[in-house]
Chain A
């Protein structure tokens, strides 16, 4: 049996985890390719015109997988701890069922109601596996995930502590890691002689954050979105270090970012750190994008 995974949106919340998990269970996994023009075009064509660009890309990936595998895995991510994922994730399996004919494999992950591991067991049981097999597959996948994550974080910390010019890139992982969507921003910045740091790769343990930099500002709402909480905490961490500039990337029509941007921008402006806000969608032109990046880099040097 072949399980398809769209390499987009929710995938990037835990990259490498899902394919490892299913492979450990003994299934063949088909990942959709990295986002390309064709995928974006199909996605834009089949999605609601007012949904966010990231969802459109995701639906493009779904469509690419259609007919190429037996099941397509679309998890319903609801809560991580007490915080919620983006509400657009809640309805993904239902929308996927409307869009593609291939059967959708799904399971709800609501950690406030049920431990992640328990939801995984339910998912595995749907595929005819027993508890032991599932737990083993999960632990193996987790170890691998931790290894990758630890390596990333180590490298990032080295970057943060280096003396070169550093730019923090603030966005959702599905924008940061999808090079087609973000127009290879990392590469572009490196060529301009600065070191880009992904906010996603900054370690997220509160102990890392000096106490005085933890969120105290009463003007700041306490976010109920997991990513918003994490991003705000990590910004406090990075602000305690030396940083030369910040770039926030939003996909067009992202409702959560409309909220987040207001507070992210404020944080950097208060510290007089140059801040650039970029909105990406299927029409973002390379030339204009490059011009803005160059101009921004000029302002910080």
Chain B
């Protein structure tokens, strides 16, 4: 049995490490490319949302390399179409002559029994692998956060990303927890050695659908682009944030905060978008960008509310719907123009 899973930004490395830790034979997904997306779109139901299509492209590529079992999450958020991804993908792949098994898991604990079934790992081994993976995820997010701070300040443009690219490549080879800790120290040291100019820069908050905000391929490396244009990026939403939120029932707290704008969940991370936008406004950010797959149900439901907050507070706001038809050049123009708007807003604020 050779397992594979969808590509998801830098997190992919952590999932690969998890699989190896459980002694599973794994075909890690190749980085998503325009051709991956093309392949996925070709067989996916036309009206389905974009991430499902990208996933399918990833699976097709992995199947070509010998993968026969796909591990796929279903309901991890609220009421959103992710719940049915695996079923539809399974159906579509079978219709196209790819007979693969799906191992699906949701937020219940039966993930452990399913993993046990496919890997035969002991309970202790699984706990160990979980801790290992959580640490790996934690490092990935730390590095991403650090890069958000460094990019607009680095003196030699591109230094930060050079370090990151090689770091993630090295990370794939790590086997032991102690190596992981050593790796973290080393990379942090490398990042701290990057020459920067300490200065105040405009800050932009990113919010939206979790897959698109965390996957730098489908969002056209928006964080890197904003950073290179001199903007510090903040992003609340991440995989660990989402998990913590679930464990500590933070949604209850979020609902109370956004009550004047929205009285209920609308599925996915709809409420979080409003909560995060209000937070960015309160913290004096200079702009907010919403990222979503086109026609994403939760995100399009809350967009009029985000627009309203934008109108009320005057904070620059840009919403980018992403799918296979979006051209990178068009996104670039919008990002560049938005950064100009953000800088105008920032300068005006500095004066007063």
> Which residues from chain A sit less than 8 Å from chain B, CB to CB?
47-48, 50-51, 76, 78, 84, 87-88, 90-91, 93-95, 98-99, 106, 108, 219-221, 224, 250, 253-259, 261-263, 266, 279
Q: Which of A93, A259, A266 has the most CB of B within 10 A?
A: A259
B48 engages A259 (CB within 8 Å): yes
Residue of A nearest to B294 (CB): A50
Are A50 and B321 CB-contacts (below 8 A) given A95-B305, A219-B90? yes
Residue numbers in A under 8 Å from B81 (CB-CB): 255-256, 258-259
The one of B49, B83, B270 in contact with A258, judged by C-beta atoms closer than 8 angstroms, is B49
Residue numbers in B under 8 Å from A50 (CB-CB): 294-296, 300, 303, 321
Residue numbers in A under 8 Å from B49 (CB-CB): 255, 258
B88 to chain A, nearest CB (A): 5
A178 to chain B, nearest CB (A): 20
Whether B194 is near chain A, meaning CB under 8 Å from some CB there, is no
Given contacts A94-B263, A255-B81, 13 further A-B contacts (CB under 8 A): A47-B304, A48-B303, A50-B294, A51-B301, A87-B79, A87-B265, A88-B297, A90-B301, A93-B263, A224-B79, A259-B48, A261-B47, A262-B92
Residue of B nearest to A250 (CB): B47
The one of B264, B270, B296, B304 in contact with A98, judged by C-beta atoms closer than 8 angstroms, is B304
> Which residues from chain B sit less than 8 Å from chain A, CB to CB?
45, 47-49, 78-81, 83-84, 87-88, 90-92, 261-268, 270, 294-298, 300-305, 308, 321
B301 engages A88 (CB within 8 Å): yes
B341 to chain A, nearest CB (A): 21
How many residue pairs, one in A and one in B, have C-beta atoms under 8 Å apart? 99
The one of B87, B91, B294, B298 in contact with A87, judged by C-beta atoms closer than 8 angstroms, is B298
Are A258 and B300 CB-contacts (below 8 A) given A90-B265, A91-B264, A221-B87? no
Residue numbers in B under 8 Å from A262 (CB-CB): 45, 87-88, 91-92
A259 engages B304 (CB within 8 Å): no
Measured CA separation A205–B262 after assembly (Å): 35
Measured CA separation A108–B265 after assembly (Å): 12
Measured CA separation A99–B301 after assembly (Å): 13
Measured CA separation A99–B78 after assembly (Å): 26
B265 to chain A, nearest CB (A): 6
B295 engages A253 (CB within 8 Å): yes
A98 engages B305 (CB within 8 Å): yes
The one of B79, B294, B295 in contact with A84, judged by C-beta atoms closer than 8 angstroms, is B79
B264 engages A76 (CB within 8 Å): yes
B297 engages A257 (CB within 8 Å): no
